Structure 1
Amino acid sequence: MVAASQPQASEAGRDILAQGGNAVDAAIATAAVLSVVEPTGNGIGGDAFALVWLADGTGSGKLHGLNASGHAPAGLTPEAVKTAGFDEMPLHGWTPVTVPGTPAAWAELSRSHGKLDFAKLLAPAIRIAREGFPVSPVIAKLWARGERQFRAAATDPAVAPWLEAFAPRGRAPRAGEIHRNEAQARTLESLAASHCESFYRGELAEKIDAFSRETGGYLRATDLAGYQPEWVEPISVNYRGVDVWEIPPNGQGMVALMALRLMEGFDPAVRDDPELLHRQIEAMKLAYTDGHHHITDSAHMRTSVESLLSDAYAETRRALIKPTAIDPEPGEPQAGGTVYLATADADGNMVSYIQSNYHGFGSGVVVPETGISLQNRGHGFSLDPGHVNTLAPGKRTFHTIIPGFLTQGDTPLGPFGVMGGFMQPQGHMQVVMNLVDYALNPQAALDAPRWQWMGGRKVGIEPGYPLHLIRDMAERGHEVTMAIDTTAYGRGQVILRDPQSGVYCGGTEPRTDAAIAVL
């Protein structure tokens, strides 16, 4: 089974399974196609994370974590940013560009755990980029939004190539129109032939370096050559008998785990109970406040993961949840535009995978004649020297993209994820509670309306929540707004495996143009 936000991507992964590939091979092929057909949220110039369950043939196995987020270039310092006239990290242009990790993620996953030849995995993406694809409705809407944004910034020579690559008709493609990107097809062919070496230590690296030097960027070939993704030990909490797994910092997955720890201390009641919704919002506010205060590159963390997830700290933070809305401050525990996909094969291997350019198309910087749109992940850095996430060369910033996975004891249940910037841990918590507390199947868990904490006491709520809940939230001091654009409320995928039968049950996101493909 393959669940992804675009039908052609899901089908590519399924076809790789049919050719004898495993779940890892399918994930790579699906991700590569997504980089072509959904450029509004991800691409070759972005970052990636993965949780990979490798079955041992007995119904058990081991979960592995891959951190393929990139670091700040050697020349990107707070002093350089301030000299360029910025008081904070900008959203677009060269300044927020960090080393992309996505190609390295594909190559490393294939090298470590794949079965098929790497070039075969990228073949569907190459064909689709060259022959073209019909742009899906939600993506057409997001594409038009990006076109307006980057047309206004086209005086920047680093951003000007974006229009040639992604608006060749003089505008963004409309829903149903065919979009082709020959330059991207050639880039994917180079990656396929070199096992992605050309991006970090070859012809593509040279092109990126040359364009960066020509247009005032910081990224250099030496930054690319020094990059390697990192295998990490996933972190988890047990939520009512189910282990919920995330990637450790620099990812924000720990925010979801901290919020679940707080909610575990309350009776789950019923889904439409006002007290439950209020507590969910308050738990997420507390967890996010802590996350932004403590989470950064693991090498620069001042507080341990263990202390933030400890029983004692959870009890202290849970006690702050009152009957009315609060404005939380970070605690001090004792020392101690994104795509998501899920794949599963006949042997019980499963992959939870996410890759992103961060904000939409990313920085807007497109390397000419490559189709590579570079991420703007560095926007997340702080220029405050006292902040834990302050910018430093070679450092990885606080990261929003997070894959999730569920197990029960030694038994794998399956991958899940909800893409969408700072909505992601909020979506993770809500989907996990729907699955665990209310026994919803994967599709129902994703279909359910969501809420989103938006800072301070501001809360957005999707249509579908009962009116009495919305009134109750307002009476408790929450500043409630009804959602108009539901794409901002996360786009998720879930695959769960029945431990007895081995049958997979999948759910796919109704807020986008998603699909499940089954072999």
Structure 2
Amino acid sequence: MIANDPLYHPYPAYRPPVYAGRGMVATSQPLAAQAGLDMLKRGGNAVDAAIAAAAALTVVEPCSNGIGGDAFAIIWHGGQLHGLNSSGPAPAAISIGALCEAGYTVMPQYGPIPVTVPGIPAAWAELSEKFGKLSLEETLEPAIQYAEYGYPVSPVTAHHWNKAFHVYKQELRNPYFSHWFDTFAPAGRAPQAGELWRSPDHALTLRSIGNSGARDFYEGELAKRISRFVGDAGGYLTEDDLRRYKPEWVQPISTAYRDYEVWELPPNGQGLVALIALSILDGYERHAAGDVETYHRQIEAIKLAFADGYRYISDASRLTATPADLLDPAYAAVRRKLIGNQALQPAPGDPRSGGTVYLAAADGEGNMVSFIQSNYMQFGSGMVVPGTGIALQNRGKDFSLDETHPNALEPGKKTYHTIIPGFLTKGGQPVGPFGVMGGVMQPQGHVQTLMNAIDFGFHPQAALDAPRWQWTGGKTVLVEPQFPAACAQALSRRGHDIRIALESGSFGRGQIIWRDNGSGVLLGGTDSRADGSLAVW
């Protein structure tokens, strides 16, 4: 278990970590964490707890995820890691040519065009069938209760919900967007913190998913309603696209960092970016906390990793460089040599020449789950299927309409995907799940949080609470308000364009659960940037 003095916390939020013996669920919302814990106490395992928490999050934090989004998971079960990619592809009928003829030069952010096949319901069903001990109906029941009878909205959720409402009020003009406002702003505004909110349509949809093992969503009445709504609005998603969809079981990929193995899922997810950066940073001596040299090397490694990620990551069937190529130690050494004392302008190398929720769950049997799901960009496309509560994602926004681009739009292709679950092992034994949500902040958050834990010996709560930076492109680096001023000034002198953020909303929100493989004791932390909670047993 990674942790030094559990009462030592180098940063202003002096929350200690949390211990448990029989189970732990870490989420960005207390009601969702409690839903997961309820499953453990009913005799379920960590997978059941993760499904219950994930379903609850679609209700109690709808500004970050929903039934119409995608999901990924890494599961430790039966003494090994399993990976699930439940991201959906572009519709079979869409194409660059069709969009260009319609007058598009880039993929739109809102509306029916960027809607891809949702993977979340299929992920719940697949995980439940393969590893769960309880029925899918039972694991979805807490979420159904929250949706049907209502719950008081939590403060951070209310803040982001309100921000999204004001954006959507300006951007969503077409009549088909009215269902979003009917569902998520029925009083003509976003709900306030502490205000009760309910969504009976959402409850009915969840019950249908539970009763049918998600089949109704992909080949039943729900599928008909989804495809009809998208088609009538001018989109491309059809019943055939939904019926053909299946999640993919994949082998997680890893890189060594110090004495540990860091695991992510392979492309189309961007977890490879975090692994590339860590493989570069592993070549340095152990770093020091709060040191300008540490921050500088982290930023430069992330820039190089993203340059390669944006060049090579796409649908797994269309890769021009494999994860093995990009994680080769010799290639990492070549990239490391590019890092000097001054900020660089990142460019991809050639290895061949040489709006999201994250949760973690663990049980007393040794099972552990790293799970993430998202609609993307807060509520997604702004398209809510009438009478269902289903907010459809806009993952297609990340496709390029340039046919020569690695992530060019193609029928049935999966796009570069931002959401990534992480997992840590040591000597082949599980240490535990970790993750930081938030678009391109995610691999940056993975690198910073893991280094806080491994290099600096921070316990999970301290590792999450430490001030963060975020590379946003070129030489620009955004830092949190509480980021050390002296380090910010020193980084500026090294050529970084340092910008101080006014709030911490864009720096991700994470969860960590570590297990002591000797005693089985669980140690967890939840991000202070969210309404986060650890439910323990």
With the shorter chain as reference, the TM-score category is over 0.9
| Structure 1 residue 350 corresponds to structure 2 residue 368 | yes
Q: Which residue of 2 aligns with 1:198?
A: 216
Equivalent AA in structure 2 for residue 428 of structure 1 = H
Is residue 94–residue 158 contact of structure 1 (8 Å, CA) maintained in 2? no
Is residue 491–residue 498 contact of structure 2 (8 Å, CA) maintained in 1? yes
Q: SS at 1:392's partner residue?
A: coil
Greater alpha carbon shift after TM alignment, 75-84 vs 274-283:
75-84
Gaps of 5+ in 1: 56-60
| Structure 1 residue 487 corresponds to structure 2 residue 487 | no
Q: Which residue of 1 aligns with 2:162?
A: 144
**How far apart, CA to CA, are the structure 2 residues paired with 1:273 and 1:314?**
23
Is residue 252–residue 399 contact of structure 1 (8 Å, CA) maintained in 2? yes
Distance apart, 1:306 and its partner CA: 0.5
Q: SS at 1:418's partner residue?
A: strand
Equivalent AA in structure 1 for residue 272 of structure 2 = M
**How far apart, CA to CA, are the structure 1 residues paired with 2:123 and 2:250?**
13
CA distances 1:67-113 after superposition (whole Å, capped 9, x unpaired): 00000001211112222222111111111110000000000000100
Equivalent of 1:406 in 424, 437, 447: 424
Q: Which residue of 2 aligns with 1:434?
A: 452
Is residue 446–residue 508 contact of structure 1 (8 Å, CA) maintained in 2? yes
| Structure 1 residue 47 corresponds to structure 2 residue 65 | no
Q: SS at 1:21's partner residue?
A: coil
Equivalent AA in structure 1 for residue 439 of structure 2 = G
Q: Which residue of 1 aligns with 2:516?
A: 498
Equivalent of 2:201 in 183, 193, 199: 183
Q: Which residue of 1 aligns with 2:11?
A: none
| Structure 1 residue 299 corresponds to structure 2 residue 322 | no
Distance apart, 1:335 and its partner CA: 6.5
| Structure 1 residue 12 corresponds to structure 2 residue 30 | no
Is residue 304–residue 336 contact of structure 1 (8 Å, CA) maintained in 2? no
Equivalent of 1:387 in 405, 411, 417: 405
Greater alpha carbon shift after TM alignment, 479-488 vs 78-87:
78-87
Is residue 287–residue 456 contact of structure 2 (8 Å, CA) maintained in 1? no
Equivalent of 1:243 in 258, 261, 265: 261
Is residue 252–residue 402 contact of structure 1 (8 Å, CA) maintained in 2? yes
Is residue 338–residue 420 contact of structure 1 (8 Å, CA) maintained in 2? yes
Q: SS at 2:230's partner residue?
A: helix
Is residue 113–residue 234 contact of structure 2 (8 Å, CA) maintained in 1? no
Q: Which residue of 2 aligns with 1:24?
A: 47
Is residue 330–residue 354 contact of structure 2 (8 Å, CA) maintained in 1? no
Equivalent AA in structure 2 for residue 33 of structure 1 = A
**How far apart, CA to CA, are the structure 2 residues paired with 1:72 and 1:470?**
42
| Structure 1 residue 33 corresponds to structure 2 residue 70 | no
Equivalent of 1:162 in 165, 180, 189: 180
Is residue 77–residue 392 contact of structure 1 (8 Å, CA) maintained in 2? yes
Identical pairs, percent: 55
- Within 5 A, what are the aligned runs for 1:247-396? 247-334=265-352, 337-396=355-414
Equivalent of 2:117 in 99, 112, 126: 99
Give TM-score scaled by structure 1 length: 0.98
| Structure 1 residue 77 corresponds to structure 2 residue 95 | yes
Q: SS at 1:454's partner residue?
A: strand
**How far apart, CA to CA, are the structure 2 residues paired with 1:179 and 1:283?**
44
Gaps of 5+ in 2: 1-23
Equivalent AA in structure 2 for residue 28 of structure 1 = I
Is residue 157–residue 215 contact of structure 1 (8 Å, CA) maintained in 2? no
Q: Which residue of 1 aligns with 2:527?
A: 509
**How far apart, CA to CA, are the structure 1 residues paired with 2:353 and 2:180?**
47
CA distances 1:16-45 after superposition (whole Å, capped 9, x unpaired): 000000000000000000000111110100
Distance apart, 1:153 and its partner CA: 3.5
**How far apart, CA to CA, are the structure 2 residues paired with 1:388 and 1:479?**
28
Equivalent AA in structure 2 for residue 481 of structure 1 = R
**How far apart, CA to CA, are the structure 2 residues paired with 1:85 and 1:327?**
34
- Within 5 A, what are the aligned runs for 1:220-239? 220-239=238-257
Is residue 150–residue 159 contact of structure 1 (8 Å, CA) maintained in 2? no
**How far apart, CA to CA, are the structure 2 residues paired with 1:207 and 1:481?**
46
Equivalent AA in structure 2 for residue 5 of structure 1 = S
Distance apart, 1:464 and its partner CA: 2.8
Greater alpha carbon shift after TM alignment, 437-446 vs 262-271:
262-271
Equivalent AA in structure 2 for residue 202 of structure 1 = G
Is residue 110–residue 380 contact of structure 2 (8 Å, CA) maintained in 1? yes
Equivalent AA in structure 2 for residue 383 of structure 1 = L
Distance apart, 1:336 and its partner CA: 9.0
Equivalent AA in structure 1 for residue 484 of structure 2 = P
Greater alpha carbon shift after TM alignment, 141-150 vs 18-27:
141-150
- How many corresponding residue pairs? 514
| Structure 1 residue 3 corresponds to structure 2 residue 21 | no
Is residue 180–residue 382 contact of structure 2 (8 Å, CA) maintained in 1? yes
**How far apart, CA to CA, are the structure 1 residues paired with 2:315 and 2:177?**
28
Distance apart, 1:211 and its partner CA: 0.9
Distance apart, 1:6 and its partner CA: 0.4
Equivalent AA in structure 1 for residue 27 of structure 2 = A
**How far apart, CA to CA, are the structure 2 residues paired with 1:320 and 1:336?**
15
Distance apart, 1:163 and its partner CA: 0.3
Q: Which residue of 2 aligns with 1:58?
A: none
**How far apart, CA to CA, are the structure 1 residues paired with 2:293 and 2:360?**
33
Q: SS at 2:177's partner residue?
A: coil
**How far apart, CA to CA, are the structure 1 residues paired with 2:169 and 2:483?**
38
Is residue 68–residue 119 contact of structure 2 (8 Å, CA) maintained in 1? yes
**How far apart, CA to CA, are the structure 2 residues paired with 1:108 and 1:352?**
15
Q: Which residue of 2 aligns with 1:423?
A: 441
Distance apart, 1:147 and its partner CA: 1.1
**How far apart, CA to CA, are the structure 2 residues paired with 1:438 and 1:213?**
53
CA distances 1:105-138 after superposition (whole Å, capped 9, x unpaired): 0000001000011100000000100111111111
Is residue 277–residue 305 contact of structure 2 (8 Å, CA) maintained in 1? yes
Is residue 307–residue 335 contact of structure 1 (8 Å, CA) maintained in 2? no
Q: Which residue of 2 aligns with 1:115?
A: 133
Q: SS at 1:112's partner residue?
A: helix
**How far apart, CA to CA, are the structure 1 residues paired with 2:152 and 2:229?**
30
Distance apart, 1:275 and its partner CA: 1.2
Is residue 304–residue 335 contact of structure 1 (8 Å, CA) maintained in 2? no
